[in-house]
């Protein structure tokens, strides 16, 4: 009698444990997969419903299906264009080889293919530009931020400049940067095009501030005891920065870098639209000016692409932080 109740107790506990365990697993699955998928599905549904009811001068607002078909159309165009380019280079090579066979003293001419840049070429241009601008800004902002965090005097001197320029919209900078670049950056055989330099500088100007401010805050809030350790050990300034300052402010530096990269990416698209500099922003603007029945769907493809790339850039920074940070246990968001 006692025995049987015991076993039933045990088995009920066991099944409890089991259901709890599988419940946890389910929960994890729901959190990481089912719920996000549900959210997306709901959004797509809402989008297609709303899109049907919006009429613009360029026709109906594109729903998910039009956007998908335009995405594949853009891919086809890209493939066709790269085939054309390949054919062009092949023809050129053949021609040069032939001329060389007839006349060994002939110097082969190599021309660059000049087709209109495709959507994917524009993506590449934008990514390249934002990386250069961001890296440039970080190279300036991190050391400057460390200096601000270490020295109250440096901070006092730089603070007004930071506070005034931080809230300036990139679009206000753009005309100035454009004029300065075209005045200063003159060379017969420029390594980079002027439009690229303008975009990258504009991005850099806006990327500076979050990194600078967060680095300064991170550095100035280092544990006082650790600073005392450094003093007792008489660490030289450089050793102090490398062994104490950098490791303890890595999380704040990365918070700043991620903010900067996010801002930089947004700024770049706007700058490309305004200045007609090559990149995704120009693609959007060209499609808008073009005004065909497919334009809106193609712009929507660009919008989604811009979003996904922004997201991936942020993830990339997170991965980098995980690699660099000494504290692997912190949850990174």
Partner 1 sequence: MDIDNHLELTQVGMKFPTPKGDFVALTDVNLRIKKGEFISLIGHSGCGKSTVLNVVAGLYKATDGGVILDNTEVNEPGPERAVVFQNHSLLPWLSVYKNVELAVKQTRQGRNKAEMRAWVEHNLELVHMTHAKDKLPSEISGGMKQRVGIARALAMEPKVLLMDEPFGALDALTRAHLQDSLMEIHAELGNTVIMITHDVDEAVLLSDRIVMMTNGPSATIGEILDVDLPRPRNRITLADDPAYNHCRHEVLSFLYEKQRKVENVADHQKKRESATEEKAKDASSAA
What lies within 8 Å, CB to CB, of 322 at 6+ separation is 328, 332
d(CA 211, CA 51): 39
Q: Does 331 bind partner 1 (CB under 8 A)?
A: no
Instruction: Compute the least distance from the CB of residue 18 to partner 1, in Å.
Output: 29
How many CB atoms are closer than 10 A to CB 185? 15
Least distance to partner 1, CB of residue 221, Å: 15
Residue 55: phi and psi, rounded to 5, are -110, 130
Helix segments in the chain, DSSP class H? 2-29, 35-52, 64-102, 119-150, 152-165, 170-184, 194-220, 224-232, 237-240, 246-275, 280-290, 295-324
Distances (CA, A) of 22 to 14, 30, 286: 12, 12, 53
Q: Which stretch binds partner 1 (CB under 8 A): 80-88, 198-206, 305-313, 323-331?
A: 323-331
Residues 104-123, interacting with partner 1 (CB under 8 A) = none
233 binds partner 1 (CB under 8 A): yes
Please tell me whether residue 327 binds partner 1 under the rule CB under 8 A: yes
Q: Which of 45, 195, 200 is nearest to 133 (CA)?
A: 200
CB of 251 to partner 1, least distance (A): 12
Contact 171, 245 (CB under 8 A): no
Residues in region 209-228 near partner 1 by CB under 8 A: 223, 225-226, 228
SS (H, E, C) 179-225: HHHHHHCCCCCCCCCHHHHHHHHHHHHHHHHHHHHHHHHHHHCCCHH
231 binds partner 1 (CB under 8 A): yes
Kindly indicate which of the ranges 130-138, 199-207, 213-221, 229-237 contains the residues binding partner 1, using the contact rule CB under 8 A.
229-237
Task: List phi, psi (to 5°) of 91.
Answer: -60, -45
Which of these ranges, 54-62, 98-106, 244-252, 258-266, lies near partner 1 under the rule CB under 8 A? Answer: 244-252
- Shortest distance (Å) from residue 232 CB to partner 1: 5
Report how many residues bind partner 1 under the rule CB under 8 A: 17
**Any contact of residue 69 with partner 1 (CB under 8 A)?**
no
Q: Smaller CB distance to partner 1: residue 176 or 332?
A: 332
Residue 3 interacts with partner 1 (CB under 8 A): yes or no: no
What is the closest distance, in whole angstroms, from the C-beta atom of residue 245 to partner 1 in the complex? 11
Closer to partner 1 by Cβ: residue 64 or 247: 247
Q: Is 152 in the site for partner 1 (CB under 8 A)?
A: no
Query: Per rule CB under 8 A, is residue 244 in the interface with partner 1?
Result: yes
Q: Which residues bind partner 1 (CB under 8 A)?
A: 223, 225-226, 228-229, 231-235, 243-244, 247-248, 326-327, 329
């Amino acid at each position: 009698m006692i025995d049987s109740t015991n076993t039933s107790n045990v088995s009920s506990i066991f099944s409890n444990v089991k259901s709890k365990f599988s419940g946890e697993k389910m929960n994890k699955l729901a959190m990481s997969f089912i719920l996000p998928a549900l959210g997306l599905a709901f959004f797509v549904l809402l989008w297609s419903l709303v899109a049907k009811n919006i009429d613009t001068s360029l026709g109906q607002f594109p729903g998910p299906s039009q956007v998908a078909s335009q995405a594949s159309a853009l891919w086809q165009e890209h493939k066709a264009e790269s085939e054309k380019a390949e054919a062009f280079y092949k023809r050129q090579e053949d021609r040069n080889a032939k001329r060389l066979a007839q006349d060994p003293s002939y110097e082969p001419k190599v021309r660059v293919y000049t087709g209109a840049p495709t959507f994917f070429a524009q993506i590449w241009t934008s990514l390249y530009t934002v990386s250069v601008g961001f890296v440039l800004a970080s190279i300036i902002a991190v050391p400057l931020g460390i200096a601000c965090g270490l020295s109250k005097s440096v901070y006092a001197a730089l603070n007004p400049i930071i506070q005034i320029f931080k809230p300036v919209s990139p679009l206000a900078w753009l005309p100035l940067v454009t004029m300065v670049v075209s005045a200063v950056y003159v060379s017969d055989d420029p390594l980079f095009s002027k439009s690229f330099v303008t975009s990258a500088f504009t991005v850099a100007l806006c990327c500076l501030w979050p990194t600078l401010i967060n680095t300064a805050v991170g550095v100035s809030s280092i544990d006082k005891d650790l600073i005392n350790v450094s003093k007792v050990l008489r660490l030289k300034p450089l050793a102090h920065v490398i062994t104490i300052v950098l490791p303890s402010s890595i999380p704040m530096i990365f918070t700043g870098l991620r903010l900067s990269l996010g801002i930089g990416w947004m700024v770049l698209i706007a700058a490309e639209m305004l200045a007609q500099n090559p990149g995704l922003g120009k693609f959007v603007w060209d499609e808008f000016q073009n005004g065909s029945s497919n334009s809106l769907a193609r712009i929507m493809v660009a919008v989604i692409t811009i979003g996904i790339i922004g997201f991936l850039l942020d993830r990339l920074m997170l991965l980098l932080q995980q690699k660099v940070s000494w504290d692997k246990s912190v949850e990174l968001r």
